[in-house]
Amino acid sequence: MPPPIVHHPAYTADIPAEHRFPMQKYRRLAEILVADGLAPAGFVVPEPASAAELALAHDRDYVDAVLALAVPPAIEREIGLPMNETVVRRARAATGGTILAARLALSHGLATNTAGGSHHARSDQGAGFCTFNDVAVAIRVLMAEGRIGTALVVDCDVHQGDGTAEIFLGDANVTTLSLHAEKNYPVRKRQSTIDIGLADRTEDRAYLAALDEILAPLLDRMHPDIVFYNAGVDPHADDRLGRLSLSDAGLAERDRVVIEAVRGRSIPLAGVIGGGYGADVEPIARRHALLHHAAAAFAG
């Protein structure tokens, strides 16, 4: 059996068809995974994250404002999505999905979510298409339950994981690694434990070399109780919001390298899909499927 895949139909929210956020990629990704035989027993369906869970990583005032559909217009603009009921339902489902993927990773070794990686959401507000920081919430939930003592976030989305860095700044039990395009959004970077800012148009070989240099030694040094892997596909050369030049094969190799490094050390891994942008959702959804294929290939 391939590793469990978490999915919820609510991941696809209702926003205008012409919106630059490719919302339909979540629906299409699920279709591709079923067609590719990666969910023979169906998807695992998460419960939406509760307000109490969300408040483990976010200010309670912000959580309450989101759930009440009362986010101040300035923050709504920074998030870049219309904060309607379906977008809020999506944010809660995606966060619940990453919590569930993490629980499944602890019991099965490896699990993936078909959403998640909302790494620009900080403790006091969302930003950059991110409402709640699902990975941060999942880490805090598992820590509160005493199920993990340490966590490592391997964030390979092309944008810096500024929200995750901010939430865990000064937390010695959570290590954040961000491998991103230095000149890309956000303009104001936050300090991750380890930041690797890559030059524009970095290609497969240099990207994989940078990852290789940092990941294995880091895993050997800290041996975390769990790794959260943000497999954003926006480092791809054709991505509308990336600045790097990875190929499909490069992304696939990256996913394989990360999963093998982590699982080869018997550390549980929860994978989230992160960003991927463009007018045509088909190639983007196909790129997001690479993570789930890599997980299935490792599990054999």
Catalytic residue annotation: 120
Q: How far is the CB of 119 from Zn ion (least distance, A)?
A: 8
Q: Which is nearer to Zn ion, 101 or 244 (CB)?
A: 244
From the DSSP assignment, how many helices (H) and strands (E) are in the chain? Answer: 10, 7
Pick one of 4, 224, 275, 278: the residue that binds Zn ion (CB under 5 A): 275
| Binding residue (CB under 5 A) for Zn ion from 159, 288, 292, 293 | 159
Contact window for Zn ion (CB under 5 A) among 10-18, 73-81, 209-217, 226-234: 226-234
What is the side-by-side order of every strand in the sheet holding 227-230? 5-6, 110-113, 269-272, 227-230, 151-155, 174-181, 194-198
Q: Is residue 162 part of the contact set for Zn ion (CB under 5 A)?
A: no
Can residue 157 be called a binding residue for Zn ion (CB under 5 A)?
Answer: yes
How far is the C-alpha of 253 from the C-alpha of 280, rounded, in Å?
Answer: 23
Q: Binders of Zn ion: how many residues, by CB under 5 A?
A: 5
Element containing residue 200 per DSSP (H, E):
none
Q: Which of 166, 195, 234, 253 binds Zn ion (CB under 5 A)?
A: 234
In the complex with Zn ion, which residue's Cβ is closer, 148 or 160?
160
**Interface with Zn ion by CB under 5 A: which range of 5-13, 32-40, 139-147, 150-158?**
150-158
Kindly tell me the burial class for residue 214, based on how many C-beta atoms sit within 10 Å of its own C-beta (0-12, 13-18, 19 or more).
middle
Residue at shortest CB range from Zn ion: 275
Residue 159 or residue 243: which is nearer to Zn ion going by CB?
Answer: 159
As a whole number of angstroms, the distance between CA 225 and CA 288 comes to: 25
Q: Helices 248-263 & 204-222, crossing angle to 10 degrees?
A: 10
User: By CB under 5 A, is residue 163 in contact with Zn ion?
Assistant: no
**53 makes contact with Zn ion (CB under 5 A):** no
Helix (H) or strand (E) holding 31: helix 25-35
Nearer to Zn ion, 181 or 262 (CB): 181
**Residue 202 identity:** T
Report the nearest approach of Zn ion to the CB of residue 130 (Å).
Answer: 9
Q: What is the CA radius of gyration of the chain?
A: 17
Residue 287 Cβ vs Zn ion, minimum distance, rounded to whole Å = 12
- Check: CB of residue 10 under 8 Å from CB of residue 264: no
Stretch that binds Zn ion, among 3-11, 137-145, 158-166, 256-264 (CB under 5 A): 158-166
Sign of CA dihedral 189, 248, 263, 28: positive
Where does this chain bind Zn ion (CB under 5 A)? 157, 159, 232, 234, 275
